[in-house]
Structure 1
Amino acid sequence: MKLGTKATLFGLLLILIALVNLIFHNQTARLEQQSTLMLASAESLERDIQNLQEKARAYGANAPRDYQSYYRDVALYHKEFQQTIAALENDNSNIARNLEDLNGGSALLQLSAQNIDTSYRQWNERFSNFLNSYHEAIGEDLNEPRLEWAAQRIREQGESLEALAGTLLKNADEYNQLRQSNQQKFALALALAVIAVSLMFTVWFFISVIKPVKRLAETTNKVAEGNFGLQLSARGSDEVAEVTGAFNSLSVRIDLILKLLDQLEEGAGEQQAVDAVMDICGEYFNVDWVGMILLEKDKNLRLNAASPASSLKRWFAKSAVAEEGNLAEFICQHIVEKRLWLESDIDSFSLQIRDSRLMRELMRNTHAHSVLGIPLGDVGKRRGMLLLASKNQDLLDGKRGELLMKLTPLISQRTLGVA
């Protein structure tokens, strides 16, 4: 996975956390407002029912005894009863409205208003019965209300209404406390999630970027000091792994070129030059056999050196005469014209060219599937071709094949000096 992709995933994860945090704050703000209103309405409900009971008791204790004060006191107490009843009805409406908002709950905070809903239903049912009983007791003639009966209904049902209001207030308070507790826990969880993601990103960045780059810098300095051929393990498929792979390839190529320059010295013997090419290029380019063919007079070819050297013992005919259509003539043309000879399928090629002993010897002794011929120009009017044979058909596939093609002028130039 690329570094950009990993960084994008971390960014998306942080954005997701930020969105959850935004939703959390919006939801908690709404729930805080609703639960606060519910708690305030429940407290007001309890106070109003207590106030109503006090007024009923006060009326019972101070009921008018004479005719002159009767209508005045009845009107005054009736007005107070009606105001308190209206306040209770308003509290009841506010609770119903707030409960409707709270009933949606909060999956994020794992909250449910089920207890408040149950206690409210019980309260509302009892309050509705009380209102019916109160209005029945006070009568239809509001000019002459039966306050004695109404006060009696309040005293009879007031305590049960107050108990239900207390239960409703208790449940609302517990809901509010649970909301605050869960809100704090969720906020802590979000903070821990942000810290965890930040730590993960820091550790990942150190392991995936800083540490490999530091190791690459140290190894590069060693290569700059002359320790060519050093390799680093390239793990994964990100940009750092690509840079590491490029460094490994560069280090090996520099080492390979310097070894070729060092080994293919002028004045060295032909066998030494062939062995040097085999030793240096064999493993890296999957070369299994290297041979040097020289072009003599009258278009005669002679195998002058080979690596492994033991393969020369198996060649019954180390020379060949160029005839029309045979391999010797084909090689001679490439030597004279200084053209590379690349054949990826020797078996198929042998069917296209007129057979010769040189062709048979090449196939029998190298067991090659592909071959690369590098023409050696004329120094002292000597010319030839360096043959690199491989049992694989991918001798020039990929970047290594490209490198081998780029090295052919160097191999030709340096080998030319010893031919």
Structure 2
Amino acid sequence: MKLLKMLKTQIAAALVLIMLLFGTIFTLSMVALNEQQSYNLLLNITTRLEQTAQNLVTLGMNYAMNVPQDSSSYDRDVKLYYRAMLGQIEMIDDITNSFMTNEFSPALTNAGDPYHPHLTPAAQQAVLAVEEIWKSFREGIIDALGNNNGMPRLDTAAEYIARFHAPLAASIDILLTKIQQQTEQQLNQVYQVHLALLFTAVIITLGVFGWFYLVVLKPLKNAVSGFQKVAQGDFGYQVPIASENELAIMTHSFNALSIRLYAIFRLIDKIQQGSDLNETLGFVAEEFSALLPLDWVGGLFVTCDNNTIVLEGSYRNGKPEVAQRTRYPLRNTLLLKALESGEPLHIPNMPATGNENADFQFLNYLINAGLKDAIFLPIKDLSPIPGVLAFATRQENAYTPEHLELLANIAGLITHSFGKTVRLAEHSRLAAIGSFASGIAHEIRSPLSTISMALDYFRSSELPGAASKRANLAHKEAERMARLLEEILLYAKPLQLQLQLLDLKQLLLQLFETHQEIPQQKQQHFECAATDDELNILADPDRLTQVFLNLARNACDAAPEGSTIHWHLTREPLSRSIVISVNNRGEPIPNDHLEKLFDPFFTTKTNGTGLGLSIVKRIVDGHGGDIEITSTQKQGTTITLQLPQA
């Protein structure tokens, strides 16, 4: 009985019923098609009989109108008319004999097997009439031709055919009419049965669809409406349940979820409003007490040495607590186990667990505070600093599987909120550092210009060899510092683009011509190939030139002396983008370096600033493009840019 109430059983039964109905209709359609082909074949044979008889009559009449006047013409007619007459007579014999024996050979039907038609009594009477008339007509033709096959009386036979052909034509016409009537009658019966079955199938299908709407679509529509209401913020909405199938189970689960969402909505709202860690912990301590037993909650974050973890803040009985000890070892602890697994860790019997291991100092701290059951929730993937959110209660075995399931389901929201709090603090610190670095760069640039001018003066003076060498070295370092400051300021300030329509190939060719000194330093040269003519993009020419100059210098620095730097441009119609690849045959870049090439201040060059590729990526991203670097021993290093097509 329970199985019959299951939605999958009911749907399967309905589908089987529909398949059986339409299978029957399909089978009947095939039968009707075969019947149609059979009757069409019978009609074609009868029509062929009629046509053959007409051909025989036509031959006779034509000969009667054109009787030869000399022996040579007669010899010609013997070869033509006589043989044609005998051929038509033989064909009529074959067809009438097949009608009489009710078996048509493959030679007549062009089919693989003999054909045995089913004829009605009226059609059979018409066949007998044709056979009788043809037998008499045939004997008359043969008598008229005479017994001399070498000198047949064609004129007499032609006159006989012209005078006595009417009864044969009339009988064949009657036969054709009877067979047409039989065909229409049989096909009409098949059509009526087919129509009745089709009507029955439509009625049953409509009934199945009506049942499907009431049992499946309508409850599903109500569920979707409930989902939409919850999505719009009505977290307490309940969907009505009117059945006992799988949809009802799903709706019941949704209603339970809706109630739970309503319970945690205020918590999430307050967590998002938290401005710092202590305030966020206060929200958790206040709101989570309605969802699970909670006497203590605290946030711990790993220090930079990864050996200890710090209790940054905690709440006890809903009030902030000043911890007696804020730093705990991390090695060989349950805190580390939770961080490594990335899953909530439940410690149901803390006194027994903590007393067994002296390394569990944080756990013993909780035990000394009178807490007996705890859950460690790792804050790892969504936070720049790994940490653990600890829940604890004074009750033994207080956290049931339902509590753990709830916490596991909303763990992502909680850790995201705490990660957001930590990230906001980290971003504020980084923003302050960036602003400070930008200010320092501005302050250093002016005295650095003065130093460069002084070094230029000393370089232009006549100095001893060692002093001149030191002055040149200092000047180069000053130039490098100036470049670094410019790149820091460029990287720090907001990116503003002046977009215009550009021909990418022409931009590259112009850049190669203007900056020929780049490849000439190592006797290298650039080679540019394009697979399409339409390579237009919407971009800032100055910024894009800056990107290509950086890539050109990097490629020349990495490629061997005298080698070729290959630039390849192509258009991708599906993504509507232009792809630019720059390939050099230099030494491959290690995999651990590939992951860091776009990081600010990462460089493998002795005199590099580490900001070139970071700026390149920032400009490419600003154009809505993408950049990727691959490097292998066989292919060398390839930088691939993808920019939107105009």
Scaled by the length of structure 2, the TM-score of the pair is 0.29
Query: Which structure ranks higher in relative contact order (CA pairs < 8 Å, sequence separation ≥ 6)?
Result: 1
Scaled by the length of structure 1, the TM-score of the pair is 0.42
> Of Structure 1 and Structure 2, which has the larger fraction of its residues in helix?
1
